Amino acid sequence: MITVDFEPEFEAWRIEARNQLAKNTHPSEIMWSQNRTGQAGFSFIVDQPQMTKNENFRVDPDFMKVASIVASARDDDRWDLLYRTLYRLKHENSNLMKVTIDDDVLRLRRLAKDIARDIHKMHAFVRFKEIRDEAGLRYVAWHQPEHRCLKLGAPFFMRRFGDRAWSIFTPDLSAHWDLKALTYSAGIPLSDFPHKDDMDEVWKTYYKSIFNPARVKIKAMQAEMPQKYWQNLPEAEIIRDLIREAPERLEELARNQPKAALVAPHQNLDQLRRLASVCQACPLFEHATQTVFGDGPATARIVVVGEQPGDNEDHEGRPFAGPAGKILDQALKLAELARSEIYVTNAVKHFKYKPVGTTRLHQKPTGSEMHACRPWLEAEIALVKPEIVVLLGATAGTSWLGRLPRVGEERGRLLRSRDHREDAMLSWHPSAILRAASDADREQKFAELVADLKLASELQQISSVSRTSAQRSSKPTP
């Protein structure tokens, strides 16, 4: 039996493993002895491992990646597992890492997954506290990970908080960033770490503001935020109170929820327009000049839906009356569509803006405002009964499809909402064309808008022909 004495670090094990592999030492002949004598006060600069070169054997890069993670596992058998797998890669199967049902490979990947999850929790639950000492102002945190993964997780904080000096202490190891280098030293127990500072109250206020009582799932919360971490989280002090108060907060949210628009099911467009003119389903009516309802013939085969009225539309009372409307008119003309033959409307019927001096700056409507206005849009389209609905921009797409679409990826093809029978298409909102970062981007988006409108026209014509043919074939033969 060969006893291999080494510092319990990946690079130290790697050197020893390479030496034993060169000698063809069988895994059963090795006892990996972790020398921990030098761990109490060492300090070194982080160094990324380089790939080992071997004249007779090229190590699988996938194994090296997994091994560099598994070396941090809180499992003393990890070194035996790593060397056994390495030995088998050389002598048994060079593609062993692709054999997902192999016991050694399966255990390696499970350990790597557990450590990756532990690193994720480190990134989520480390809470820095501000202190001043002889070195000046710096930030400190104490964390207790499941595995010895501080060296894997610390570079994230160096990238994210690289403009300030900080230290992260764990029971095994401590990490220090001095604005120049990331170094490590011995760990400390929680009893040696200061517990509170002024930032604790900031964390509590922030957590309380983002806590959603409608989505409280205690088991899921405890799985994602195990109670062992609560001692390090200032916001954990208020979690139990927030859970206890959740029913009362839900009732309050329900009382303050915007009311749905009261839309009668059997109205014509004129009657619907009069009802919408006095809508108070969301707060936007308080500051807008008027409701801006849809415009166009009730027999239109194409409905075009925008986001919301702008400043011009708010004053004139009709959709797409401003600069975005001119872009839309140009695109319709090139697509050989007459605006007088299509129905144009918006997902939200009131202008949402922020006053800056005498200017009213456009503000994006919220989900609750879209929800409050959706019955009007659905009622309009139900009365018009178009062949196709063209959704301009993400807000129109979200309102109609019930999800946030990616306009750049989903435009130009048919989409179907589970709540509606009409086919829909996404395209660029004219405002996005006006705000384009460059002339080239502006020209491309405009050309794509024109192409999408042409396609909508062609699809509408095909649908109309098919419907007419179906109606004819359904008539009884004389």
pLDDT of residue 264: 56
Q: Record the pTM.
A: 0.48
Element containing residue 84 per DSSP (H, E): helix 78-91
pLDDT of residue 220: 52
Shared domain for 279 and 324, answered yes or no, is yes
Looking at the domain assignment, is residue 473 inside a domain? no
Please report which residue ranges of 211-347 form alpha helices under DSSP H. Answer: 218-224, 239-256, 269-276, 311-316, 323-334
pLDDT of residue 243: 58
Looking at the domain assignment, is residue 262 inside a domain? no
Looking at the domain assignment, is residue 476 inside a domain? no
Helix (H, G, I), strand (E, B) or coil at 429: coil
Element containing residue 67 per DSSP (H, E): helix 61-70
Q: How far apart are CA 298 and CA 268, in angstroms?
A: 9
Up-side HSE of residue 457: CA atoms within 13 Å toward CB? 17
Shared domain for 127 and 163, answered yes or no, is yes
The dihedrals phi and psi of 77, each to the nearest 5 degrees, come to -85, 0
The DSSP string of 165-220 is -EEEE-SSEEEEE-SS-EEEEE---GGGS----THHHHHHHHHHHH--GGG--HHH
Shared domain for 63 and 76, answered yes or no, is yes
pLDDT of residue 43: 33
Name the stretches of the chain with pLDDT < 50.
36-54, 203-204, 206-207, 210, 214-215, 478
pLDDT of residue 206: 46
pLDDT of residue 54: 47
Shared domain for 303 and 186, answered yes or no, is no
Looking at the domain assignment, is residue 280 inside a domain? yes
Shared domain for 408 and 457, answered yes or no, is yes
Q: Look-up: residue for tokens 């990331």?
A: 182
Shared domain for 275 and 412, answered yes or no, is yes
Looking at the domain assignment, is residue 452 inside a domain? yes
Looking at the domain assignment, is residue 455 inside a domain? yes
Looking at the domain assignment, is residue 90 inside a domain? yes
Q: What is the DSSP letter of 476?
A: P
Angle among Cα 58, 61, 64 to the nearest 5 degrees reads: 100
pLDDT of residue 38: 38
Question: How many domains does the structure of the chain reveal?
Answer: 3
Q: Which domain holds residue 231?
A: 199-256
